[in-house]
A and B are shown apart, each in its own frame.
Chain A
């Protein structure tokens, strides 16, 4: 896809030399470039760089952010119901797999971007708590001569079941965060959670703060994916991990046909009947087609400075988990 690359170039040129000096990642630009060539390039790309895709429509970049905000504002209330209906519940398995790949240990600081309704955050907390309980059981079994009171005490000590693990849920959309907080109350997640309103392209956090950065089904809605990847690189600690769960390209031709049929024929109809919103779900399926394939996205992640980038396709490539490390 040409658009993100030209955006990256525009970004580098526009933001001045300091950014470029920090890490000139596009090959061929390391050599000194003549100023006139640079300005010519700026002019020719100015027009193209201000247009992007919104599903299958072409819109200006300023418009896209606003339009995506409106989509999620309108789907927020029925978001979870629709996810279950559209994926026939399989999205739960995908999110569980993301956690298993993450394999967090107690004390992990997680940043979940575009995590509005909290699915990943809640799974993270449950995972840590389950780990803690297993560890407790193992410890108790290892100790031989404990009285009944001591055993009961060990099981009852509720404090610090998270052992310092913490998750920050960041989303650009207020409605999605509202739904997330309601769910947290309803499901009983009280500690270890923070909800922050923020833009993935400009995160309101300091450098080197988090152990793991996840973005599940959010990055395809970002206007400048490369900026989001750079921000991810910035806020992660050295040794930190980037994990992205996102819809990707299907490799198997038969599955691809069925998937396209289902996406374009059934999903907007479901959106209309259940959520009274055809257009948002039409945008959803179109935005999936516009997102780069596994290899291309892997290269974009590498461009942002991550290393040891790998991906794993799930359900014949309908979704993929991309992983990279900041080393």
Chain B
């Protein structure tokens, strides 16, 4: 019955995931994972992506602690922006290297002792301090699941892992105000619809005082820096741990924040 259904709906790709044998073969071996482009991949049809977008946007607004919903929103809406990002990474020499070597930032790949031994003011030391002060870990990033291109899946994964670097570069804590500022910066830099939506709708949950500071000083600063700086995804952070943070900021043209936000 189901194969009959699939047969009649084949011309309509609305309800089918990726073309190919996976869509038609009902029984698939667990070990083979036919049709999967990368280990965590879940192929989704257009209708499913639309429903996921609506559902995740609603749930993220309803329950701001559901970070996984923001991630899902980014994956389902980021098709075009990710392609632009990937092409622009390819054109840059450091970016192309990143795409080639596919480095990952996680507790298993970071040498924490080495980072701790670096001099004060270096990128590695400041990044570690940021993780400690805000009590976050790079391993809490959910893996990409709904992107239907393996290279773009890496690009969005890299973007997520670099997010913490941006906090360090901009000097923003992980409270909601800091996150919104970083989202504005990212929206200008990457053009991902999820960043734009987050930047526009995130402030809904802010107090009036924070909102005022945000609108009057932080957002213009973030936008200005975002436009001025080259694409932050093109930086091979793993090779720049020893670089002093100040020097890196100067290289990117990032100025100090106008208002210091406490963690």
What is A's interface to B at a CB cutoff of 8 Å? 53-54, 56-59, 249-250, 256-257, 260-261, 264-266, 268-270, 272-274, 276, 278-279, 289
Shortest Cβ distance from A54 into B: residue: B30
A82 CB to closest chain B CB (Å) equals 13
Q: How far is the CA of A279 from the CA of B45 in the complex (A)?
A: 15
Determine if B5 and A265 form an interchain contact, defined as CB atoms under 8 angstroms apart. Answer: no
Determine if B28 and A57 form an interchain contact, defined as CB atoms under 8 angstroms apart. Answer: yes
Determine if B55 and A272 form an interchain contact, defined as CB atoms under 8 angstroms apart. Answer: yes
- 24 residue pairs from A and B, CB less than 8 Å apart: A54-B30, A56-B26, A57-B28, A57-B30, A58-B27, A58-B29, A250-B1, A260-B2, A264-B15, A265-B15, A265-B47, A265-B48, A265-B51, A269-B48, A269-B52, A272-B52, A272-B56, A273-B52, A273-B58, A273-B59, A273-B69, A276-B68, A279-B42, A289-B26
User: For residue B51, which residues in chain A have a CB less than 8 angstroms away from its CB?
Assistant: 265-266, 269
Determine if B59 and A249 form an interchain contact, defined as CB atoms under 8 angstroms apart. Answer: no
**Given A54-B30, A256-B5, residue A268 in contact with residue B59 (CB < 8 A):** no
Interface centre among B45, B48, B56, B66 (most CB of A within 10 A): B48
User: For residue A269, which residues in chain B have a CB less than 8 angstroms away from its CB?
Assistant: 48, 51-52, 55
Determine if A257 and B29 form an interchain contact, defined as CB atoms under 8 angstroms apart. Answer: no
Instruction: Give chain A's interface secondary structure class.
Output: helix
Say if the beta carbon of B163 comes within 8 Å of chain A.
no
Which B residues, 12 to 33, have Cβ-Cβ distances below 8 Å to chain A? 15, 26-30
User: For residue A274, which residues in chain B have a CB less than 8 angstroms away from its CB?
Assistant: 59
Shortest Cβ distance from A57 into B: residue: B30
User: For residue B27, which residues in chain A have a CB less than 8 angstroms away from its CB?
Assistant: 53, 56-58
Q: How far is the CA of A289 from the CA of B51 in the complex (A)?
A: 23
Q: How far is the CA of A53 from the CA of B68 in the complex (A)?
A: 30
Give the top 8 A-B pairs by smallest Cβ distance, nearest first: A273-B55, A57-B30, A269-B51, A265-B47, A273-B59, A58-B29, A269-B52, A56-B26
Determine if B52 and A265 form an interchain contact, defined as CB atoms under 8 angstroms apart. Answer: no
Shortest Cβ distance from A273 into B: residue: B55
Q: Of A56, A264, A276, A289, which contacts B28 at CB under 8 A? A: A56
